[in-house]
A and B are shown apart, each in its own frame.
Chain A
Amino acid sequence: MSAAVSSDYRAVIGLETHVQLQTESKMFCGCGADYAGDEPNTHVCEVCLGMPGVLPVINRKAVDLTILTGLALNCRIPENAKFDRKNYAYPDLMKWYQISQYDLPLCEAGHLDVVTSGRKDRIGVTRVHLEEDTAKLSHVTGSDGSPASLIDVNRSGSCLMEIVSEPDITSSAQAMAYGAKIRDLLRWIGVSTANMQDGELRIDANVSVWRQGEATGDVKVEVKNMNSFRALGRALDFEIDRQSRAREAGQAIVQETRGWDEDSGLTVPQRTKEYAHDYRYFPEPDLPPLLIPEARVSGLRLRLPRMPDQVAADLVAEGCPAGDVEELVQDRVLTEFALSVVGEGVMAKDAVTWIVHELRRVLNDRDVPSGQIPLQATEVASLLVMRGDGVVSSTMASEVLDEMIATGASAAELVASRGPQISGEEELLAVARDVIGENPQAVEDYRAGKARAVQFLMGQVMRVTKGKANPGVVSELIRRQLDGVE
């Protein structure tokens, strides 16, 4: 994209984020909501199929999860909410209307602070509302070679929450940061697994571009079909560039919906405003208005955990590296684990750094999700205390951790079975001499000024001693030997 063109223009972006909620059953019927990977049309009943005569019944948990999200996004929760019918004719919509919320959503007027390139900006959240998802269409070629459209109704009627931002976002990077933060927050409060590639989180963008200093008008372009944060960023970059160039060339921007095409890297028109729907919203007569008493809201507020921003600020204040903390708080389970380890008397900095780097690596190697850490925080704390006291080396601590996960044995048992760390110079000197003798290339590298040679030789000593050598002593010995040989 052309930086020269862009710099004269500013982008105005608002995001609409659709979230599949983690509920047992669908939004208005008793069908199971966990249909991922199941055969098409196996999680259906007369209600989510839109059979004649059926009626919806509100899923109470979905309302709770939506209010929780609103609270996490600093929204107001009005006492009066209601559902409305949004009419549009599409074969994936079983009733040809969607039960949604029009003018009285569950949550209003919140905000989310987003950091982009070290700068913190407050993005307004217009509203959070609840609706039902549609069925899934797939377009295939039939056995006779003619095109066919197949409908899987499993998704029809699932709980779908929509978070609408104010048009406060000014760049693709900020949009991506907002999206990622929403995703982390949803996972943090346990409202959704929010995997974008599985369609659990879908982000549509409204974009317009205006000359610096010029007033903002009301023509905007809606961009859909982004399946990842990267796609969101690319689509916005493309669209900002396209609109900037068009305006530079004196062309009017057409209000329309465009789809992001991942392969070509382009947005392409889907439908123009002339064909835009008049949704003919009206209050859903099958559902009485929703009254949300203050007691329900305050009960939910109590269920809300401390927000990641607050936890992160505390950890940084306790001396943890900001980068590590930022990574840590993307995962609530890991964060809770780290806080428990700190609670056992380990320095916050040591615990956070070690958990973000070592524990995550080991879990990753063993394919263990963070939600299923097979360790007690007290065990990890005792390992870290031994490491801090020099009873075990960092290398050995990592190995012990791996074994703890593999065998379930305690840190103390495993360390004891390996014997204590070897710090005796005589014993280590013998090993160091052997290793140096076996690796003439490393000696040459050292002489050529490559400091990495020392690391390599130390690794060899650790291998021979099964990680029990005291690294400080070994490093010193190897240097002395190498320098002595010279």
Chain B
Amino acid sequence: MGRDLHCLTLHAAADGLARGDFTSVELTTALLDRISSIDANIGAFLTVTADAALSQAAAADARRATGEVNRLDGLPIAIKDVLSTAGVETTCGSRMLQGFIPPYDATVIRHLRTAGAVMLGKTNMDEFAMGSSNEYSAYKVVRNPWDLGRVPGGSSGGSAAAVAADECLAALGSDTGGSVRQPAALCGCVGLKPTYGRVSRYGLIAFASSLDQVGTLTKDVSDAAMLLGAIAGHDSRDSTSVDTPVFNYLADSDDGLHDLKIGVAPQYFGKGLAPSVGSKVREAIGTLVDAGATEREISLTHTELALPAYYVIAPSEASANLARYNGVKYGLSDVNASDVDEMMAGVRAEGFGSEVKRRIMLGAFALSSGYYDAFYLRAQKVRTLIKDDFDAAFEQVDVIATPTAPTPAFELGSKLGDPVAMYQSDIMTLPASLAGLPCISVPCGFVEGLPVGFQLIAPAFEEERLLRIARLFERFRGDMEAPAREVDSL
């Protein structure tokens, strides 16, 4: 029996459990051991729920002993701390919610519990999911397992690093402007952001409601499909979730790539893209073409407007979403304040970090009377133009390929003094977020010992197509020659 259980993919572990090679308790124990031995150096977890995980694992083993079980039953998964977990502290990476224990489960958590998944704990993140390096966590930084001096990306940096460092088999994250895909690219794992509306947002602590979507961080594309199958679907508690059939995302097909048209837009390969990353992405597209696909140049004309539009819309929504944190009901409070106004103001001054405050200020300003038309309304119009660009492109092509992030993982602290440079990390992921489209980041090579990912974007609710192409890419790409991970020298 292999003792490196923590290195398994979800599907390999599911097969192992099914064959009886090992139990969920053994698997869970292996992962908890891995967390205790390395996470002090990674910082991926904010909360580890070891006791609960072991009893969930034991219950899973008992279920398996008596009958048919779900594919996910007994598989240990990590959860980004942005998702509400009943009875388990949920901080959203903020001092504001330190000690906050929600009374309810997010819909996706309910789905995972029903499927029998084992929850290992809650992963670190940029405060309220605002950031691209995880350095805005109020608790601790997350280190990139490939190079401990570099960031894992953000805001789902904890989830991406936990998967990359084999501290969990897979993890849930959330993606507003690239928060699943960009850290997946920087950590060398697969990051899937489904179509807006595909997965319920109920219990996903809101950053920007019209953009937020729960996503997955996994070791390969099949795992992404497996996890998406468990969490997708209409939810009567989320009026923006869409009542559309959930496919069997795992259904493999050997249709190949012969009829496939891949769109490549020059707007994604210009200024700001590290040439070494660009050439890796071109190689990936070449792999698809070699396998029979056709490359088509398309134009996504309004791409460069995505960043300014996003930084009006997302902060505007955030300014309202984060208004509820005032010390009156939960989280940080101050019983010594002289009156309620002083208490509410004091709690917000103390509880929020600087990046969160910056975005609240931006958003409140953009929505102010007299500025609304010039900012919020205009940004929404730009959003429509970006959506129209994608619609037009998808008349010609089946899927669009782009880099996921302009550079590989950057050094810790290198962008902290320059918010705009930090915002630039998301230029490749923002447009598809604004259009609500499903996209996936898949590893496609290494540059200077650091992983590089490329992004595939599909039309709305075409996750099946997206996953099929991504999986075929994975197959044609084959195993990559990976440099040493710094985490392995710990």
* CB contact list, B328-352 vs A, under 8 A: 328-330, 340, 344
* CB contact list, A270-317 vs B, under 8 A: 278, 280-282, 285-288
Chain A CB within 8 A of B390 CB: no
Chain B CB within 8 A of A55 CB: yes
Report B-chain residues with C-beta under 8 Å of the C-beta of A288: 239-240
The minimal Cβ–Cβ distance linking B387 to chain A, given in whole angstroms, is 15
Chain A CB within 8 A of B102 CB: yes
> In the complex the two chains form, is A46's CB within 8 Å of B201's CB?
no
Contact of B320 among A49, A55, A57, A87 (CB under 8 A): A87
Chain A CB within 8 A of B323 CB: yes
Task: Specify the chain A residue showing the minimal Cβ separation from B201.
Answer: A55
Q: Residue-by-residue, is A97-140 near B (CB-CB < 8 Å gives 1, otherwise 0)?
A: 10000000000000000000000000000000000000000000
Chain A CB within 8 A of B372 CB: yes
Report the Cα distance A271→B310, complex, angstroms.
36
Known: A50-B329, A91-B328. A55 touches B367 (CB 8 A): no
The minimal Cβ–Cβ distance linking B365 to chain A, given in whole angstroms, is 9
Task: Specify the chain B residue showing the minimal Cβ separation from A151.
Answer: B328
The minimal Cβ–Cβ distance linking B360 to chain A, given in whole angstroms, is 11
Known: A53-B106, A91-B328. A285 touches B317 (CB 8 A): yes
* CB contact list, A432-482 vs B, under 8 A: none
Chain B CB within 8 A of A96 CB: yes
Chain A CB within 8 A of B132 CB: no
Report A-chain residues with C-beta under 8 Å of the C-beta of B83: 53
Chain B CB within 8 A of A52 CB: yes
> In the complex the two chains form, is A96's CB within 8 Å of B209's CB?
no
Chain B CB within 8 A of A149 CB: yes
Chain A CB within 8 A of B29 CB: no
Chain B CB within 8 A of A246 CB: no
> In the complex the two chains form, is B239's CB within 8 Å of A53's CB?
no
Task: Specify the chain B residue showing the minimal Cβ separation from A286.
Answer: B209
Report the Cα distance A56→B372, complex, angstroms.
24
> In the complex the two chains form, is B238's CB within 8 Å of A285's CB?
no
Chain A CB within 8 A of B364 CB: yes
Most chain-A Cβ atoms within 10 A of its Cβ — which of B201, B203, B210, B323?
A: B323
The minimal Cβ–Cβ distance linking A286 to chain B, given in whole angstroms, is 5
Report B-chain residues with C-beta under 8 Å of the C-beta of A26: none
Task: Specify the chain A residue showing the minimal Cβ separation from B208.
Answer: A285
Chain B CB within 8 A of A95 CB: yes
> In the complex the two chains form, is B237's CB within 8 Å of A55's CB?
yes
The minimal Cβ–Cβ distance linking B23 to chain A, given in whole angstroms, is 33
Known: A87-B367, A151-B328, A278-B368. A52 touches B323 (CB 8 A): no
> In the complex the two chains form, is B236's CB within 8 Å of A57's CB?
yes
Chain A CB within 8 A of B324 CB: yes
Known: A85-B320, A89-B323, A285-B209. A94 touches B329 (CB 8 A): yes
Report the Cα distance A144→B272, complex, angstroms.
63
Report B-chain residues with C-beta under 8 Å of the C-beta of A285: 208-210, 240, 317
> In the complex the two chains form, is B326's CB within 8 Å of A89's CB?
yes
Report the Cα distance A53→B97, complex, angstroms.
12
Task: Specify the chain B residue showing the minimal Cβ separation from A92.
Answer: B328
Report B-chain residues with C-beta under 8 Å of the C-beta of A52: 84, 90, 92, 97, 100, 102, 205-206, 324-325, 330
Most chain-B Cβ atoms within 10 A of its Cβ — which of A54, A94, A281?
A: A54
Interface size on B, residues (CB 8 A): 43
> In the complex the two chains form, is A286's CB within 8 Å of B326's CB?
no
* CB contact list, A60-87 vs B, under 8 A: 85, 87
Chain B CB within 8 A of A51 CB: yes
> In the complex the two chains form, is B376's CB within 8 Å of A46's CB?
no
Q: Residue-by-residue, is B85-124 near A (CB-CB < 8 Å gives 1, otherwise 0)?
A: 0000010100001001011101000000000000000000
> In the complex the two chains form, is B367's CB within 8 Å of A282's CB?
yes
Chain B CB within 8 A of A5 CB: no
> In the complex the two chains form, is A286's CB within 8 Å of B240's CB?
yes
Chain A CB within 8 A of B369 CB: yes
> In the complex the two chains form, is A87's CB within 8 Å of B323's CB?
yes
Report the Cα distance A291→B106, complex, angstroms.
28
> In the complex the two chains form, is A57's CB within 8 Å of B237's CB?
yes
The minimal Cβ–Cβ distance linking B364 to chain A, given in whole angstroms, is 6
> In the complex the two chains form, is B90's CB within 8 Å of A91's CB?
no
> In the complex the two chains form, is B239's CB within 8 Å of A286's CB?
yes
Chain A CB within 8 A of B404 CB: no
> In the complex the two chains form, is B239's CB within 8 Å of A280's CB?
no
> In the complex the two chains form, is A287's CB within 8 Å of B239's CB?
yes
Report A-chain residues with C-beta under 8 Å of the C-beta of B206: 52-53, 286
Report B-chain residues with C-beta under 8 Å of the C-beta of A54: 202-203
Q: Residue-by-residue, is B305-329 near A (CB-CB < 8 Å gives 1, otherwise 0)?
A: 0000000000011011001111011
> In the complex the two chains form, is B239's CB within 8 Å of A96's CB?
no
Report B-chain residues with C-beta under 8 Å of the C-beta of A50: 324, 329
> In the complex the two chains form, is A51's CB within 8 Å of B330's CB?
yes
The minimal Cβ–Cβ distance linking A116 to chain B, given in whole angstroms, is 37
Chain A CB within 8 A of B163 CB: no
* CB contact list, B358-396 vs A, under 8 A: 364, 367-369, 372, 376
> In the complex the two chains form, is B323's CB within 8 Å of A97's CB?
yes
Chain A CB within 8 A of B204 CB: yes
Can you list 24 contacts pairing A with B, beta carbon distance less than 8 Å? A46-B104, A50-B324, A50-B329, A51-B102, A51-B329, A52-B84, A52-B97, A52-B325, A53-B83, A53-B202, A55-B201, A55-B238, A58-B239, A87-B320, A89-B326, A91-B328, A94-B324, A96-B320, A96-B326, A280-B364, A280-B369, A282-B317, A282-B367, A286-B240
Taking beta carbons and an 8 Å cutoff, which residues of A are in contact with B?
Answer: 46, 49-58, 85, 87, 89, 91, 94-97, 149, 151, 278, 280-282, 285-288
Q: A91-B344, A94-B329, A281-B367 are in contact. List 18 more A-B contacts (CB 8 A).
A: A49-B329, A51-B103, A52-B92, A52-B102, A53-B202, A53-B204, A55-B237, A89-B326, A94-B324, A95-B324, A97-B320, A280-B319, A280-B368, A281-B372, A282-B316, A282-B317, A282-B367, A282-B376
